Amino acid sequence: MGTLRTLDDVSPAGRRVLLRLDLNVPIDGGRVTGSERIARSLATVHELADTGARTIIIAHLGRPGGRPDPSMSLAPVAEAVADALGRPVAFATDTIGDNAADIIASTRPGDVVVLENLRFHPGEEADDRDFARALGALGDIYVNDAFSVSHRAHASVTSLARLLPSCAGRLMEEEVNAIARALSHPVRPIAAVVGGAKVSTKLAILDHLSHWADHLVVGGAMANTFLAAQGTGIGASLHEGDMTGTAVRIMKSARARGRAIHLPVDVVVEKDGQPVSCDLDAIGLEARILDIGPLTVRSVSRLIEGCRTVVWNGPMGMFEREGFDRGTVDLARTIADLTRSGSIFSVAGGGDTAAALTRAGATDGFSYVSTAGGAFLQWLEGTPLPGLVALEAA
């Protein structure tokens, strides 16, 4: 990854700053019901406003398909941003056009505006240059503070960065620095912990990490596919039978490169609705594996104690259910404790990971928990992110 320009490299005072945020937050009954993404974006908004910039927030909500949909309006999000900021926030009923231009023209230094949903225009997801130029005409500087959408080659992410003087916002800067420390120039040994349901959805990640990490720990339902590939009976457990050959290839490739893949040595199955720990050779024909077992947690914990960098993506089991969350919770707390002690640097993100760490009460213990889903996963694959490439080129 190249060097990103940051807010330290620009002079936003008095200028119109187009600030790309990720405000794709849950809304119910016209009210925002989850404001974490708003909260994590506030540092940049406060800084811009305090330096006298005229801040113009651009963002998307949902998948309206390139046309206006009142249920996905950013109007309630603008209200939530105002509440979180503790200052007035104007709202434009369109992203481009006369209404947006008039509201921006009426702003003074320190004012904040939220424009309507970018995805109400087909040009956003199509990365249309005309749409990007119309957006660019509304600002003097472009700031991308939405790492979590930077895997999308959309107009507000890539083209806009090439049209205006551009830099990364504080959240983007923080996110990139933390993930780069873990993935681009890590201190070894490295453990990568990967969970989730399907090998097929994380094949590129597993391929990359099995070559890059010193230790790859596989949990969740995808571990069942690896166990089945080794000839272990997994009963009625969720797995991908057509991916067992791929699992074998990944394991052989890792061994050839001197990397280790660690699978569960015991599991937790469901019996009469209750969690029961058992060895791999005792999994019944009708049993469903729903978590890694206590021996596996202890083994992986000892392994991580000998590492310096840990990257985590995906839960170890069905963490949403009481009794089948112990593998995820106990391992998360171990990593958090080791991080607090200064033994390891830990980064987590993607999918259900943040929710799993919250359940474990371990979020604050990790060095960094990414706000991103798809962007974090793409980085784990070793694939460049279009939004970052555009910022670096700018």
Residues belonging to the chain: 394
How far apart (Å, rounded) are the C-alpha atoms in residues 206 and 5? 32
- Name the DSSP letter for residue 120: G
Distances from the Cα of 96 to the Cαs of 48, 161, 192, in angstroms?
Answer: 22, 17, 43
Q: Could you say which of 66, 97, 110, 374 is catalytic? A: 374
Residue among 15, 16, 20, 37 flagged as catalytic: 37
Distance CA 84, CA 391 (A): 28
Report d(CA 200, CA 211) in Å as an integer.
Answer: 18
Transcribe 303-325 into DSSP letters.
HHHT-SEEEEES-SS-TTSTTS-
202 is catalytic: no
Query: Known catalytic residue: 374?
Result: yes
Of 129, 133, 162, 198, the catalytic one is 198
Yes or no: say if 291 and 324 are a contact pair by the CB < 8 Å rule: yes
Token output for 98? 């006369």
Task: Spell out where 59-135 has E strands.
Answer: 90-92, 112-115
Q: Quote the CA–CA distance of 73 and 118 in Å, as a whole number.
A: 10
Which tokens sit at 227? 């166990």
- Rounded CA gap, 8 and 143, in Å? 12
Active site residue: 350, 351, 365, 373, which one?
A: 351
Catalytic (active site) residue 351? yes
Q: Pick the closest to residue 81 from 100, 61, 98, 96 (CA basis).
A: 61
**Residue 37 annotated in active site:** yes
Kindly give, in sequence order, each residue whose CB lies less than 8 Å from that of residue 231, ignoring residues fewer than 6 positions away: none
Report residue 103 as tokens. Answer: 């509201």
Q: Would you please indicate which residues are annotated as catalytic (active-site) residues?
A: 37, 198, 351, 374
